[in-house]
Structure 1
Amino acid sequence: MALLLALETTTTNCSVALWKDEKLIDLIEDRTPGYSHAELLHTFIQKIIEDNGFSLKSLDAVAISKGPGSYTGLRIGVSAAKGLCYALDVPLIAIDTLEALAMQYNKETHGEVDKVISCLDARRMEIYAGFYSVNSKSDTGLTTIKPVEALIIESNSFQDEKRQRLLFLGEATSKLSEKIESKDNFTFVEAQPSAKEVGILAMRKYKISDVEDVAYFEPFYLKDFKLG
């Protein structure tokens, strides 16, 4: 019976989930604007553990949303996860942020689509984008089409796919909707990554011992950090 703590800090959503095997036990999130992770993350971790009758020593693994996303958010989340893994001597599991975000796709809520494009803001007219086809035979219901990319959004972006039903899911959807001119088959849904989906993917990795080297693990920034 595995007890797993999942952390998501790549956007302004400070999110902590507690999973026991295939069951989500609890989820604590704060989605207020601005990055309050430094103040809230460790408080949320302690609260979710204690409120559910466990101690930190009960944990079997810690999962972290590895990016891409906010540089500050990633550093805070990864530092917390690595610190717990060192202190408790438990494995670290890293989950692709955009894959976890794409898992918020729900056929009943969002309708039939051909592809899910999860997207996070990457400053100015850029986004971080993950590309997934809907596949009922996949464990997650999605299949990765190509690696995560940092894209500059233009008026003709995604026009080679305009005949397909695309769901854009993430915090960069307003930027996309305003910029893209031809979008009749496109649906734009605002969303933020959550530790809930991070935990789903992490439990699958835990079962096959797909874990990270805590000493050498670094966030997936995708782009170099620049001031301004």
Structure 2
Amino acid sequence: MACILHIETATDVCSVALAEAGQVLAWREEQFQHHNDHSRNLTLFVQECLGKAGKTLEELKAVAVSSGPGSYSSLRVGTSVAKGICYALDIPLIGIDTLQALALAAQRAMPIDGALYIPMIDARRMEVYYRIFDDTNSALTEAGNLVLTEDAFSKYFSEGKTLVFTGNGAQKAQQLRSHPKARFADLQTSARHLVELTFLKYQNQQFEDLAYFAPFYLKPPNITTPRKRAF
């Protein structure tokens, strides 16, 4: 059976999971206030998971990484570590859509026939990255960024749809909690959420081009320049 390493760093959660045949063997994750903590802890989490599962790095058959959208800096950390391991061991890289993985986790946690699943990732201020999926995990929209307002999803509510919101960005949709058709699945990004989609891609040999793979940032990094001093 193929032993696959999963890495999720799209948000402030740094998460690693080890799985075989779609079953989690070990996992380690922690939420950090500063994204540079990901770079200090990610490889330690990898080693910890391997130790818990009684595996060695050389036993890995592939590495899966959350491909975004999400934090620019955090996604770069996860991608760099994943690609480094793949290059060193000459094994394939599997990219997993962060929002699709969150949507699937919400569907497993809160199955509702005909519902729409809307994973959200915090994108600063009142903005979120989001995408809409049906109850079979098929995407109905492209990934986008949205400033949340009370009528942001009125079109779907007016059609009588039940909407299931999830992810750390869903905290910004509190004004929708009173709607009778709104549901909230309290889930965060996690490497464990990548496992099911990764297993399918591995079976179908849907691998990334190591040389050209890059995360899907959706927005450019938030870079500020220092003010010039008066003197």
TM-based fold match above 0.5: yes
User: What CA deviation, in whole Å up to 9, does each residue of 1:27-56 have, x standing for no partner?
Assistant: 111124433211110001011112222111
Alignment of 1:42-191 (within 5 A): 42-106=43-107, 109=110, 114-135=115-136, 142-162=137-157, 163-178=160-175, 180=176, 183-191=179-187
Corresponding residue SS for 2:140: strand
Structure 2 contact 6–191 (Cα < 8 Å) conserved: yes
Structure 2 contact 127–146 (Cα < 8 Å) conserved: yes
Task: Using the aligned pairs only, state the percent identity.
Answer: 37
User: What CA deviation, in whole Å up to 9, does each residue of 1:2-49 have, x standing for no partner?
Assistant: 110000001111111101112211111112443321111000101111
Q: Distance in 1 between matches of 2:212 and 2:109?
A: 41
Matched, 1:214 2:214: no
Alignment of 1:189-200 (within 5 A): 189-200=185-196
Structure 1 residues 84 and 116, CA gap change in structure 2 (3 angstroms): same
RMSD, matched Cα = 1.9
The aligned counterpart of 2:14 is 14
Moved over 6 A (4+): none
AA of the residue aligned to 1:159? S
Structure 1 contact 61–92 (Cα < 8 Å) conserved: yes
The aligned counterpart of 1:225 is 221
Give the Å deviation of 1:188: 2.6
AA of the residue aligned to 2:65? I
Alignment of 1:16-35 (within 5 A): 16-35=16-35
AA of the residue aligned to 2:189? P
Q: Distance in 2 between matches of 1:117 and 1:175?
A: 13
Structure 1 contact 15–195 (Cα < 8 Å) conserved: yes
Structure 1 residues 134 and 181, CA gap change in structure 2 (3 angstroms): closer
Give the Å deviation of 1:99: 0.4
User: What CA deviation, in whole Å up to 9, does each residue of 1:151-184 have, x standing for no partner?
Assistant: 1222321111113110111101121123x59733
Q: Distance in 2 between matches of 1:39 and 1:77?
A: 11
Larger radius of gyration: 2
Higher percent of residues as strand: 1
The aligned counterpart of 2:229 is none
Question: Which structure 2 segments of 5+ residues have no match?
Answer: 225-231
Corresponding residue SS for 2:198: helix
The aligned counterpart of 1:39 is 40
AA of the residue aligned to 1:212? E
Q: Distance in 2 between matches of 1:169 and 1:93?
A: 24
Give the Å deviation of 1:85: 0.5
Q: Distance in 2 between matches of 1:107 and 1:43?
A: 29
Structure 1 contact 177–188 (Cα < 8 Å) conserved: no
